[in-house]
Structure 1
Amino acid sequence: MARFPDLSAIAPDLGRIFLFMGLVSYLPLLIGIIYGEYGALLPMASAPAAFTVLGLLLVRIHRLEREPPLSIALGSVALIWLVASFVGALPFTLGIGMPYTDAVFEAMSGWTSTGLSLILDVDAVPRTILFWRSLTQWMGGIGIVAFSVALASRSSLTSFRLYRSEGRSETLMPGVVATAAQMWRIYLILTVIGVGLVLLSGISLWDAVNISMTAIATGGFSVHTQGIMYYQNPLLEMLIVPIMIAGALPFKLYYLVYLRKQTGLFEDAQARLLFLLIAFGVFLVTYDLIFLTQVVPLQALREGLFMVTSAITCTGFNNTNPFAWSSVTVLFLSALMLIGGSSGSTAGGIKLSRVNLGIETLGWWFRRLYTGSRVLTPFRHNGKGVGLTIAEYEVSKNMLVIALFILTIFVGSILLLHLDPSSAFDSSDVIFDVVSAISNVGLSTGFVNPEMSMTGKWVFIIIMWAGRLEIIPLIALAMGLSRKVSQKRG
């Protein structure tokens, strides 16, 4: 019971988050009314009703006047995403008869903007439920807590800790509420611009809205079973490319350009690295497709540009079957997925900021190696000097997250191979899908399918959840629960 006061201090904030989520979750009901899908309204209403009831129960808990420690904030954020997936699964189970485990998988894939799916025939699903899938990715892309904080009326240390615990590090304005609100304005504007761009390809407004929502969220869900390949529209593919890139750039960059404090995209280190990796990736993949897979040059360039952008931005759209490519090309694609997009964006992966910091750290270590122990070698990050203590702390934290990502991929792959040893898929297929899940990408070899064992599906649910929150909050939640269990036994 020692942790109860901390939980009491944070419960009303969690309640408000669920109330805000419930409010927005009513939007798919409008789609059901517009398209006359009245049979889907009641199943769809289960999600906003559950969020609302849960929120009302939590806000009624008496708040103790103390701020919870960071460990409670971290664990609470992990719990928010898990509960969101449990509640978000209800429309899939009640509306289209998915087994509940499959529905939780679908909802977790949506909230984490992953895009892996267990729905075999997407075209047969009511538009009400399809819009719910797109909406979960759109809300989850920028962050559940960031979304809810943007609608709040006050800043507090609790709000700040929840916001930072979700992996948000942007500081656009003095208050966390003002920062979150500004991010959501940028997000809305980018989504509307995306809809306008996609409409230029000649597809319907329904398709354009859903594609834009999932592209800017770097999510990858589609309203058709074949995904983007359904359209066979090269112009559409080229118009989606800048939307995916926009979602993978740091949102702080748009704010600085708007205020004229930064004149161009290439002044940002993450943006420079993103464009550099895209350019190099397109060259390498196009080369491989022409000379290793014998694809005609123009088609190779089309596939290379779209697939490389989809992989590095962690969107998961595809305009071809990448598993017909050479294995070395697919391996390169998986490396791009693991790197991911920018910090402060909707993209997943390890993040470009950590790659940049890793490169700077390597240079720093080698300079220290050759200058001798008596010479103080300064650490420079983004062109600025950083104190030795801060540098060592940031480097350690950076390497910890990278190590946890690699360890999760290793453990997850071993577990899945043991759970389904008779599978027709080999270890490289399993590893690719695990990388895709933890990086919240959504590309799959086919290993992820409804015929997987229930345990295998839960392994993927946990991997997607861990990847979106960068693992640390899950560890905090697990440690908090284990302490409670040990206290009860004691």
Structure 2
Amino acid sequence: MAYEDRLEPLSFAVRPRVVLKYTGQLGLALAALTLVPLGVAAGYEDWPMAWRLALVVTLLTVAGVPLGRLRSPRTIQTNEALVVTALVFLVAPLAMSWPMAATGIPYLDALFEAVSGVTTTGLTTLASVAERPPAFLFTRAWMQWYGGLGFVVLSLALLIGPGVAARRLANISGEGEDLIGNTRGHARRVLTVYLAFTVAGIALLWALGLAPFAAVVHTLAAVSTGGYSSFDGSLAGLGVSTQWAVTLLSLAGAVALSTWYRAARGGPAALADDLQLRALLLAALAVTVVLALFMLRSGQSWSEVVRHAPLLALSAQTTTGFASLDVGALDPAARLTLAGSMLVGGGVGSTAGGFKILRLLILLRLLQILLNRTRLVEHAVVEYRLGETRIEPEEGLRALLVVVLYIGVVALSWLPFAAAGYDPLNALFEVVSATATVGLSTGITALELDPWLKGVLCLDMLLGRLEVLALLVVLYPRTWFGRRND
């Protein structure tokens, strides 16, 4: 009997009732969140967008209320939690793209903006955003804000009650890595930290001279490491102090939110002890130095390098995507350096994208152990630790799988762009930016980009935000067909 056949009695397909119940509850969260841009659209008297948003709220509520009342299961399977999470990140851009198309842009580009928003990517096909209505610009940034925190975490904090299902959804969303107390309490604490950074960021940017609307948009996009700007040049036209304020907000979002909660309770020592934060800062410093050397070699002045290299390095490492200069004008080595930084990304449990710096640390530690074993006696037992934390073999395997999947997605997505005749390095940069949910662009992403290549980038953004596996589970036939655990 094959190994898969022996596992079959222990395998269960997803239960439609369970998927519908929690998708409905998360849909209600989306409906509540959509009330905010609806209010902004009404306030700016943008009635074409406002009535479409109102209809979206109505439809989500009408569908979500009866689904949310379905009988709760005793437990929720891992495949069910993955499917629910993936479906919500598919439903949200589909629902929001129609209101965004009210501004006169083609529907496909409205869908691209919505996918880029909810996945906290920040890529845009629009040649100019400064001329777009305020309600449109706010909606993009707002989608990044709640996409960065995650529908699951918001729902755990606001709608879904405690229990096994909540814990399973928390783990799938990446917020179960470091639970403090019960799941719902943890979600609320994370939301509190997120709101605190948001309020403080708006006040800081306003105090530094940004108009209130621009302060709100840039704060929402910074703390979510999203990168949508209300200016055509991103951060290029802002003063140095404002650029750094936005960048530091992005850095705060790229650190696990639970780390900030511990620091608020235990003092700065919690930050100093955080391995991911130290690795993130070290990586950003290394990228800054390498990037500065390449910029100097290409003829840029010391003043330009000192101003732009740290900002670009932090933008790439935190996967925020704000830019203070034209990335496409950098030399090939600098672009390749940024691409590598983007692919790694920020910390687990943060709003950042990429395959996460913790997974890189785990793989580097595994490599070190394998090298050390070559000089040990045959039967020596080596404990797998990262800092003071013991790493289980399954965790190392999972980290390796995620990294391999990310690289595989990038490679497969790069081929269509190369086949279409785009510069290979620029094409690689673009698909890495989409997959790592960054938003920096060499100029390939534009209105005139072939529709099917826009589709490739949309798929990359979704795969990157869901860390590939969740979307693969949705597409896997055995997820839907087979024996059910009823």
TM superposition score category, shorter chain reference: over 0.9
Q: 2:434 aligns with which of 428, 437, 461?
A: 437
Q: C-alpha distance in 2, partners of 1:440/1:5?
A: 29
Q: 1:459 aligns with which of 445, 456, 460?
A: 456
Q: C-alpha distance in 1, partners of 2:389/2:48?
A: 59
Q: C-alpha distance in 2, partners of 1:65/1:468?
A: 27
Q: C-alpha distance in 2, partners of 1:282/1:385?
A: 32
Structure 1 residue 261, shift from structure 2 partner: 6.9
Instruction: Say if 1:280 and 1:408 are closer, same or farther in 2 by CA, change over 3 A.
Output: same
Q: 2:467 aligns with which of 453, 467, 470?
A: 470
Which deviates the most, 352-361 or 164-173? 164-173
Q: Secondary structure at the match of 1:371?
A: coil
Q: Counterpart of 2:7?
A: none
Q: C-alpha distance in 2, partners of 1:443/1:153?
A: 35
Structure 1 residue 153, shift from structure 2 partner: 5.4
Q: Counterpart of 1:108?
A: 115
Q: Counterpart of 1:214?
A: 221
Instruction: Say if 1:360 and 1:482 are closer, same or farther in 2 by CA, change over 3 A.
Output: closer
Q: Note if 1:280 corresponds to 2:286.
A: yes
Q: Counterpart of 2:323?
A: 318
What RMSD, in angstroms, separates the aligned Cα atoms of the two structures?
A: 2.1
Q: Note if 1:92 corresponds to 2:100.
A: yes
Q: 2:63 aligns with which of 49, 54, 70?
A: 54
Q: Counterpart of 2:305?
A: 300
Which deviates the most, 207-216 or 322-331? 322-331
Q: C-alpha distance in 2, partners of 1:180/1:471?
A: 23
Q: Counterpart of 2:260?
A: 254
8 Å CA contact retained: 1:201, 1:235: yes
Q: Counterpart of 1:224?
A: 231
Q: C-alpha distance in 1, partners of 2:268/2:313?
A: 27
8 Å CA contact retained: 2:190, 2:257: yes
Q: Counterpart of 2:71?
A: 63
Q: Secondary structure at the match of 2:385?
A: strand
Q: 1:183 aligns with which of 175, 181, 190?
A: 190
8 Å CA contact retained: 1:159, 1:176: yes
Given residue 222 of structure 1, which amino acid in structure 2 is its aligned partner? Answer: S
Q: 1:8 aligns with which of 17, 34, 52?
A: 17
Instruction: Say if 1:212 and 1:274 are closer, same or farther in 2 by CA, change over 3 A.
Output: same
Q: Note if 1:32 corresponds to 2:41.
A: yes
8 Å CA contact retained: 1:135, 1:213: yes
Instruction: Say if 1:39 and 1:384 are closer, same or farther in 2 by CA, change over 3 A.
Output: closer
Q: C-alpha distance in 2, partners of 1:331/1:143?
A: 30
Q: Counterpart of 1:78?
A: 86
8 Å CA contact retained: 2:319, 2:346: yes
- TM-score normalised over the length of structure 1: 0.92
8 Å CA contact retained: 2:328, 2:441: no
Q: Secondary structure at the match of 1:26?
A: helix
Instruction: Say if 1:111 and 1:453 are closer, same or farther in 2 by CA, change over 3 A.
Output: same
Instruction: Say if 1:239 and 1:368 are closer, same or farther in 2 by CA, change over 3 A.
Output: same
Given residue 476 of structure 1, which amino acid in structure 2 is its aligned partner? Answer: V
Instruction: Say if 1:452 and 1:322 are closer, same or farther in 2 by CA, change over 3 A.
Output: closer
Which deviates the most, 428-437 or 151-160? 151-160
- TM-score normalised over the length of structure 2: 0.92
CA shift digits 1:377-399 (9 cap, x unpaired): 2222222445xxx2x21111110
Q: C-alpha distance in 2, partners of 1:171/1:220?
A: 26
Q: C-alpha distance in 1, partners of 2:43/2:389?
A: 55
Q: 1:338 aligns with which of 330, 343, 360?
A: 343
Q: Note if 1:381 corresponds to 2:386.
A: yes
Which deviates the most, 30-39 or 153-162? 30-39
8 Å CA contact retained: 1:341, 1:348: yes
Instruction: Say if 1:18 and 1:410 are closer, same or farther in 2 by CA, change over 3 A.
Output: same
8 Å CA contact retained: 1:343, 1:353: yes
Q: C-alpha distance in 2, partners of 1:343/1:214?
A: 19
Structure 1: unaligned runs, 5 residues or longer: none
Given residue 288 of structure 2, which amino acid in structure 1 is its aligned partner? Answer: V
Structure 1 residue 302, shift from structure 2 partner: 0.7
CA shift digits 1:441-485 (9 cap, x unpaired): 00111111222222212211111001011111111111147754x
> What are the within-5 Å matches in structure 2 for residues 330-409 of structure 1?
330-386=335-391, 390=392, 392-409=393-410
Q: Note if 1:127 corresponds to 2:129.
A: no
Q: Counterpart of 2:27?
A: 18
Q: C-alpha distance in 1, partners of 2:73/2:289?
A: 58
CA shift digits 1:196-227 (9 cap, x unpaired): 22123211111011101100100011112222
8 Å CA contact retained: 1:16, 1:55: yes
Q: Counterpart of 2:4?
A: none
Q: C-alpha distance in 1, partners of 2:456/2:405?
A: 16
Which deviates the most, 425-434 or 164-173? 164-173
Structure 1 residue 286, shift from structure 2 partner: 2.0
8 Å CA contact retained: 1:28, 1:131: yes
Which deviates the most, 475-484 or 143-152? 475-484
The percent identity for this pair of structures is: 27
Given residue 149 of structure 1, which amino acid in structure 2 is its aligned partner? Answer: L
Q: C-alpha distance in 2, partners of 1:5/1:345?
A: 29
8 Å CA contact retained: 2:409, 2:460: yes
Structure 2: unaligned runs, 5 residues or longer: 1-10
Instruction: Say if 1:160 and 1:259 are closer, same or farther in 2 by CA, change over 3 A.
Output: same
Instruction: Say if 1:378 and 1:3 are closer, same or farther in 2 by CA, change over 3 A.
Output: closer
Q: Counterpart of 1:417?
A: 418
Q: 1:242 aligns with which of 248, 255, 260?
A: 248
Given residue 467 of structure 1, which amino acid in structure 2 is its aligned partner? Answer: G
Given residue 149 of structure 2, which amino acid in structure 1 is its aligned partner? Answer: I
CA shift digits 1:312-334 (9 cap, x unpaired): 00000000012222211111111
